[in-house]
């Protein structure tokens, strides 16, 4: 098992692209055995390559006589890691980036591959101040420059215009600081900040959402006693807004229709002061168990977890709930800054399929509500067909509901992930 961070990065990238692994799982497996510093370097390279892959490939192709699809998959990952270090990591000396890549190529391929990698990277290094620029239409240039598939860029430009699209894409390449949610059943945010600082974690309380704490720098929850003790949960600030908008009260009956891994579910329970009943659903048993694990760690006892397909109507739930959270499956275009592999895995036809799923879940959630009840529909995407157009269609077919609040939180404007929230009330 390698102890080299660059080899770990190339291995993770290979497994993401060729084996279909999720980036977090691939990185965890590849970095096993590395120390904290080397893990941080490997993670930065992997995430940097994923965020900038189309531009990196454009640079490689500009200086390679071999077409990308003809390059060995292992050699291509080594080249991507090398180009990322040369072009986008000021703290890595060019000689180190080149030499380490050549060593990796020697270990993974033949002598010709080693010379090829050396030639491409040395040429990139010599031209670092005058790298080629993409050309073509505005959308094609943005696609390469910001490493976003062309169909996504076109859709964003159609819905938001070129200027806002460029802001969205610029932000998607920037790592965001982590936010955590205080478990108000066990502690206060002010006290948690002190505890985290005692653990060597720099943290500050958010002024808008009191239970939200922003942490700075890398930290490992596996080394945090406060995490093990259930004092906090990692959750994006804009994700927290879903629970706050639903505003559940003590003693109520609440349904969370797409709950795993349980961040929003446990937030609802904390807001309810662990009094009442929450039924949380997920399609997959292994994901449903994540909710149980989270509840146990946080000391929550009001969550019942059920495995179910929420696109299928469950008549036993008809009219039972005071509040329903429909945090539906979506294209994930609001979280590509932290999960960049999403943008390469999604296809345009996926959006239509997801819209159908979302509509069914929301329609079922509406039937489960009591008159006077509240439903919040939420996504972590910014595509309008999954958001505003979806909720407009719902209102057009449900005259017993009124819209009380609607907002899109974009990542570049808020510093959190992209989230859409809409609150409905069932008036009869």
Q: DSSP string spanning 82-146?
A: HHHHHHH-TTS-HHHHHHHHHHHHHHHS-HHHHHHHHHHHHHHHHTTTS-----SSHHHHHHHHT
Q: Determine which helix (DSSP H) or strand (DSSP E) holds 306, and give its type and residue range.
A: strand 303-307
| Rounded Cα gap, residues 249 and 246, in angstroms | 9
Report whether 29 contacts 12 (CB < 8 A).
Answer: yes
Q: DSSP string spanning 376-420?
A: EEEES---GGGTHHHHHHHHHH-TTEEEEEEEEE-HHHHSS--EE
Report whether 251 contacts 275 (CB < 8 A).
Answer: yes
Tokens for 314? 């469950």
Q: Which of 148, 330, 380, 422 is catalytic?
A: 380
Report whether 363 contacts 394 (CB < 8 A).
Answer: yes
Closest of 283, 299, 282 to residue 291, by C-alpha: 282
Q: Is 422 designated active site?
A: no
HSE on the CB side for 83, CA within 13 Å?
A: 28
Query: Residue 173 carries which DSSP code?
Result: T
Tell me the catalytic residues: 380
């Amino acid at each position: 098992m390698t102890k080299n961070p660059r080899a770990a990065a190339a291995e993770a990238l290979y497994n993401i692209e060729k084996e279909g692994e999720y980036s977090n799982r691939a990185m965890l497996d590849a970095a096993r055995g590395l120390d904290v510093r080397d893990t941080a370097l490997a993670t930065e390279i992997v995430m940097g390559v994923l965020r900038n892959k189309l531009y990196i490939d454009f640079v490689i192709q500009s200086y390679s006589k071999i077409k990308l699809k003809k390059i060995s998959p292992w050699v291509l990952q080594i080249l991507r890691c090398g180009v990322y270090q040369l072009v986008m990591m000021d703290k890595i000396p060019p000689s180190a980036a080149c030499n380490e890549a050549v060593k990796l190529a020697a270990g993974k391929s033949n002598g010709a591959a080693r010379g090829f990698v050396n030639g491409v990277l040395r040429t990139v290094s010599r031209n670092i101040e005058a790298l080629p620029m993409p050309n073509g239409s505005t959308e094609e240039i943005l696609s390469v420059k910001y490493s976003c598939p062309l169909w996504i860029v076109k859709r964003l430009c159609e819905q938001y215009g070129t200027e806002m699209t460029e802001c969205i894409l610029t932000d998607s390449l920037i790592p965001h600081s982590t936010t955590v949610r205080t478990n108000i059943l066990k502690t206060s945010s002010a006290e948690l900040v002190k505890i985290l600082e005692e653990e060597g974690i720099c943290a500050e309380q958010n002024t808008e959402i009191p239970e939200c704490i922003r942490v700075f720098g890398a930290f490992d929850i596996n080394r945090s006693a406060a995490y093990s003790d259930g004092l906090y949960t990692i959750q994006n600030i804009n994700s927290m807004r879903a629970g706050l908008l639903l505003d559940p009260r003590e003693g109520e009956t609440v349904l969370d229709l797409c709950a795993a891994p349980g961040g929003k579910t446990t937030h609802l329970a904390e807001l309810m002061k662990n009094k009442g009943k929450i039924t949380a659903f997920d399609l997959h048993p292994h994901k449903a168990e994540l909710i149980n694990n989270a509840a146990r760690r946080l000391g929550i006892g009001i969550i019942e977890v059920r495995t179910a397909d929420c696109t299928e109507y469950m008549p036993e739930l008809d009219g039972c709930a005071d509040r329903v959270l429909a945090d539906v499956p979506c294209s994930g275009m609001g979280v590509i800054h932290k999960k960049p592999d999403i943008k390469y895995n999604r296809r345009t036809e996926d959006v239509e399929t997801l819209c159908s799923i979302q509509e069914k879940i929301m329609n079922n959630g509406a039937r489960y509500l009591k008159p006077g009840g509240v439903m919040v529909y939420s996504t972590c995407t910014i595509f309008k067909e999954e958001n505003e157009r979806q909720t407009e269609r719902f209102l057009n077919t449900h005259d017993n509901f009124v819209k009380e609040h609607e907002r899109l939180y974009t990542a570049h404007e808020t510093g959190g992930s992209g989230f859409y929230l809409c609150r409905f009330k069932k008036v009869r």
